[in-house]
Amino acid sequence: MGKYLVFLGALVLLTTSIKAQDIISLPSPSFKGKISVEEAIKARRTNRDFGTSPLNLNQLSQILWAAYGITGKDGFKKSVPSAGALYPMDIIIVVGKKAVIGLKEGVYLYNSSSHALIRIKNGDKRKDLAKACLYQMWIAEAPVVIVMIGVYERCTKKYGKRGVRYTHIEAGHIGQNIFLQTEALGLKAGIVGAFSDEEIKKILNVKQGIPLLVMPIGHP
């Protein structure tokens, strides 16, 4: 297959050529869950001990949709509120070897508008990531680790310095959605703020933005 010119919204690169095999469409999310919002809120806890079973693509799709997926009829607005609907976050996932059925180990960028993953790096980078999180090695046991990258410029260009605050607030919204969605799927999430920004940027090939939160997800 040839190369595709993919529009990545206001992502790091405005246009980039990506090989077809590096684009992974995700299954459609479901809009019905097995537990109530109240039960999910009650059960939510930071998990630091993950089981070895892999996730499946439906579970991953559901969690990414809850995190930053499109929910608006306009095909633009997302699952979380965003100051000026500027959506300054990039959602990157680090996938372990044999950790998600049907998905190779690697680093992927979530593209909400097409509900797809774009591979940006090959290989299982979970241990490197755990080391970058001040050697919190439990992170490497989770099949998937979500990393939120705040690209402040998307927000500060309209709101000035206040855009930094708005980006941090958005990270909190995304984090809670990930927590509640994992609970609703019978899965668990952790949350990590202690890490080296520069090391994470290097591991993930991030050229623009700052890592704000790291969230390992998997089976309890």
Ligand X SMILES: Cc1cc2nc3c(=O)[nH]c(=O)nc-3n(C[C@H](O)[C@H](O)[C@H](O)COP(=O)(O)O)c2cc1C
Give the per-residue contact string, 54-83, with ligand X (x = CB under 6 A; - = no): ------------------------------
Which residue lies nearer to ligand X by CB, 42 or 45? 45
CB of 143 to ligand X, least distance (A): 18
Which residue lies nearer to ligand X by CB, 14 or 194? 194
Does 135 help bind ligand X (rule: CB under 6 A)?
Answer: no
Residues 19-58 that bind ligand X (CB under 6 A): 45-46, 48
- Give the count of alpha carbons within 13 A of 150, CB side only: 23
Q: Single out the residue of 102, 123, 193, 220 in contact with ligand X (rule: CB under 6 A).
A: 193
Does 220 help bind ligand X (rule: CB under 6 A)?
Answer: no
Nearest residue to ligand X, by Cβ distance, number only: 193
Q: What is the CA radius of gyration of the chain?
A: 16
- The rounded distance, in Å, linking the Cα atoms of 172 and 162 is 16
CB of 114 to ligand X, least distance (A): 30
CB of 182 to ligand X, least distance (A): 12
Which residue lies nearer to ligand X by CB, 11 or 67? 67
Which residue lies nearer to ligand X by CB, 45 or 202? 45
Which residue lies nearer to ligand X by CB, 92 or 133? 133
CB distance 190 to 47 below 8 Å: yes
- The rounded distance, in Å, linking the Cα atoms of 160 and 153 is 9
Provide the 10 A C-beta neighbour count for residue 39.
Answer: 14
Residue environment code for 135-158, b if the CB has 16+ CB neighbours within 10 A, otherwise e: ebeebbbbbbbbbbbbbbebbbee
Does 191 help bind ligand X (rule: CB under 6 A)?
Answer: yes
User: CA 59: distance to chain centroid?
Assistant: 13
Which residue lies nearer to ligand X by CB, 13 or 134? 134
Give the per-residue contact string, 82-121, with ligand X (x = CB under 6 A; - = no): ----------------------------------------
For 86-139, the DSSP string reads ---EEEEEEE-TT-BTTB-SEEEEEEGGGTEEEEEEES--HHHHHHHTTT-GGG
Which residue lies nearer to ligand X by CB, 106 or 209? 209
The residue behind tokens 């998937």 is 144
Backbone angles phi, psi at 171, to 5 degrees: -60, -40
Residue ranges that bind ligand X, judged by CB under 6 A? 45-46, 48, 136, 191-194
